[in-house]
Structure 1
Amino acid sequence: MPSALEKLTAGGFSVGVELPLDNDWSPAGDPARRQAGRLPGEPDLTRHGELARLADQLGFRALWVRDVPLYDPQFGDAAQVFETFSYLGYLAGVTERILLGTAAVVLPLREPVLTLKSAATVDHLSNGRLLLGVASGDRPIEYPVFGRNFEHRGEAVRKQVALLRDAGAAELPAGIKVLPRLHKPLPLLVAGLAQQTPSWVGEHMDGWLAYPGTPEDHTRRSVLWRSVAGAKPYISFLHLDLLDDANAPLQRQRFGAAVGRNGLIGELHAMREAGAGHIGLHFRRSHRPVREVMEEIAAHVLPHFHDDARIANGQPETA
C-alpha cells in the first residue's frame, strides 16, 4: 500500500487546500468578521466540517492545518483556531480519502513523547493519511508561556525528529512502548529550515514545505532542495482569489494571486515545472464563496493534474 507521501505526489503533481476554508481576508469577509465579533485573523468556522468533507469529495489531494497555539494580536492570524492534533482527529472522522497534513507542528513547544503519541493516533484513526510537517516556530512570545527556550529551539527540533523516527526506542525505558504502534514510519516534512542547515534537512526529512512564492522563487528554492535532498518532494502553498472571468489575467498579490481559472491552470503548470510536487490552495482572500471556488477548481482545474479528477468529470484517463 502506498505511503501518504507517495499518494501526495502520485502522478508527479497534486493540488490540496489549506484550512481554514473561509474568506475573512476579502473586502466582504472582514465586515462580516467584525459583525460576528471575531478577532482579526480569527476565521469563520461555521461550515468548517462541511467544507472539509467537500474538499475530500471533490478530489483535492490534501487538507493542511497549521499549529498556532496562542492568538497574538501582533500577528493577527489564528490559523484554523483548533488544536492541531485534536482537529486532525476530527477531520479523520469526517473524511475518507484526503490526506491530512500539518504545516507545521511547532515541535519545541510540545512534549516530545505526547507529540509522538498524538501523531501515531491521528495516523491510525485516518488509516495512514497523516503527513507530519514540523517546524521550529517563529513567534518568540510563545516560548516563555510554555517555559521553553527560544534560542535552543533548533536543538529541540533535532532531538524530537530523532524520537519520531525511532518511535521513542532510544528514549524510553526497556519494554516501554508508545501506542498505537506505527506500522510505517511517519512522513516527516519540514517548514523552512527549522534552524538547521540545508544538508541536515535534506538528510533527515522526507519533504520540504516551502513558503509561498512565484514560479521563479520555487525554481531557485527547489534547486537548493534537490542539491541536498535529491527527489524528495518539494511542497508549497498559494493564496488564491479565483476571479469570475475564466480568462482573467494573473495579478500577483502577497503570497499568491488573483486570477481566472485558465490562468490558475497555467500558474500551477509553471509551479510543477519549477519543481513543486504539491501546491495547497489558501482561500482567505477570495472575493467569492469558498464552496463555489472549490467546486469550480474541481471541475475545471484538477482534471489537468489528477487522474481521478478526470475520471470523476467524465474525461478519459489519458486526457
Structure 2
Amino acid sequence: MPSALAALIATPGHGPSIGLELPLDNDWSPKGDTARRVAGRPFGVPDLAQHTHLVKLADRLGFRALWARDVPLYDPAFGDAAQVFEVFSYLGYLAGVTERILLGTAAVVLPLREPVLTLKSAATVDRLSGGRLLLGVASGDRPVEYPIFGRDFASRGERFRTQVAMLRDGGAASLPEGITLLPRTARPLPLLVAGLAQQTPDWIGAHMDGCLAYPGTPEDHARRSAQWRAVAGEGKPYASFIHLDLCDDADAPLERYAFGGRMGRHALLRELSDLHAAGVQHVGLHLRRNRRPLDETMEEIAEFVLPAFHSNPLE
C-alpha cells in the first residue's frame, strides 16, 4: 500500500478522491431531528447505533478516507459533539473493523493534549491500521476548553510548534537519553493542518504535509488553494469538505447553502469536478443533513460518483 498521504490523492488527473466525515448519521435532516428529539438526545449528539455497519460499508464501497474530529467536551452553546468518542481511541477501533480506508483526524487540537501521549496514541493508530493514519492537527478554536484542561489559550501557538517538532522526530529531542517511545512508525506521520494554527503562512507551508481547508465554493477554493501552494509548493495535498444532502432525483440542481448544498448526483459530479479544477484534491462528504438513509446514499455515490474520480483503487 502507498503511504497514507500518497493514497489520499491517488487519482491524478481524474479529480478529487472522496471520503466521509464522521459521524455517519443524519440528525440534522428534518426526519433525523425529529428522531433525535423523540430519543431525548441534545442537538449535535449523534445517533451512533449504526456507526460500525456504516463504517464497514464505507470501507467496502471504496470511499478513500474517514475523518474524525477532536471534540473532547460537549458544549451546548456550540452544539456539535462530533462523533462523541475520543478520537484516537475511536480510530484504533475503526482500524480493527476496516481494511483499506484511510483514517484521518480533522483535526487533533494539539495544545490541549499531553505531547508524549499524543505521539504514542498517533503512532499506535498508525501501526494498528497498517499505516493508514492521516494526522490532521490544529490549535483549537473553543476558548472555554483551555482552562478546563489547565492550558493557556493565548500561548497555544507556541505549544503547537513544540508538539509538531515532537511528532516529527518521534520524541528524540525531548526524551532522556536511552528512553524510546514505542511503537515506532514505519514512515513519518503525515501532518495536515486545519487553519493556520496561530502560525504564519510560510511556517505552515514549510512544516505541514497538507491542508484541511474550511468548506467553501469552488471560487473560494480557487483562491485558498493558490495561497496554500504559494507557501507549500505543488506536492502537498489540499483537501476540504462538503455538507451534502443527496436528492432522490439524479437531475436535481444544486441548491447551495452554508458549507455545501442539496443536489442530485449529476450536480454532485459537476460540483466535485469544479472543486478539482479549483485545486481541491480530496473531498470529505458530511452527511448529517442528508434526508435519505445513509446506506442508500453511500451506495449511490459508490456506484455513480466514485468511478468518475477513483481511477486508481487502493490495493
Please say if residues 11 and 312 of structure 2, whose CA atoms lie closer than 8 Å, have aligned partners that are also in contact: no
Q: Does 1:53 align with 2:51?
A: no
Q: Does 1:248 align with 2:252?
A: yes
> Aligned equivalents of 2:296 and 2:198: distance in 1?
39
Alignment of 1:195-214 (within 5 A): 195-214=198-217
In structure 1, the gaps of 5 or more residues are: 312-319
Identity rate, percent: 72
**Residue in structure 2 matched with residue 63 of structure 1 by the alignment:** 66
TM-score, normalising length: structure 2: 0.97
> Aligned equivalents of 1:197 and 1:235: distance in 2?
19
Q: Does 1:75 align with 2:78?
A: yes
Q: Which runs of 4+ in 1 moved over 4 A?
A: none
**Residue in structure 1 matched with residue 2 of structure 2 by the alignment:** 2
> Aligned equivalents of 1:205 and 1:158: distance in 2?
11
Q: Once structures 1 and 2 are overlaid, which stretch shifts more, 75-84 or 8-17? A: 8-17
> Aligned equivalents of 2:130 and 2:214: distance in 1?
28
Alignment of 1:1-319 (within 5 A): 1-12=1-12, 13-231=16-234, 232-307=236-311
Please say if residues 59 and 308 of structure 1, whose CA atoms lie closer than 8 Å, have aligned partners that are also in contact: no
Give 3-state SS (helix, strand or coil) of 1:280's partner. Answer: strand
- 1:299 Cα offset (Å): 0.3
In structure 2, the gaps of 5 or more residues are: none
**Number of residue pairs matched?**
310
> Aligned equivalents of 1:175 and 1:215: distance in 2?
51
Please say if residues 240 and 286 of structure 1, whose CA atoms lie closer than 8 Å, have aligned partners that are also in contact: yes
Identify the structure with bigger relative contact order (alpha carbons < 8 Å, sequence gap 6+). 2
- Superimposed CA distance per residue, residues 269-302 of structure 1 (whole angstroms, 9 cap, x where no aligned partner): 0000100110000000001111111000000000
- 1:183 Cα offset (Å): 1.5
Give 3-state SS (helix, strand or coil) of 2:166's partner. Answer: helix
Give 3-state SS (helix, strand or coil) of 1:41's partner. Answer: coil
Give 3-state SS (helix, strand or coil) of 1:10's partner. Answer: coil
> Aligned equivalents of 2:99 and 2:2: distance in 1?
16
Tell me which amino acid in the other structure corresponds to 2:297.
V
TM-score, normalising length: structure 1: 0.96
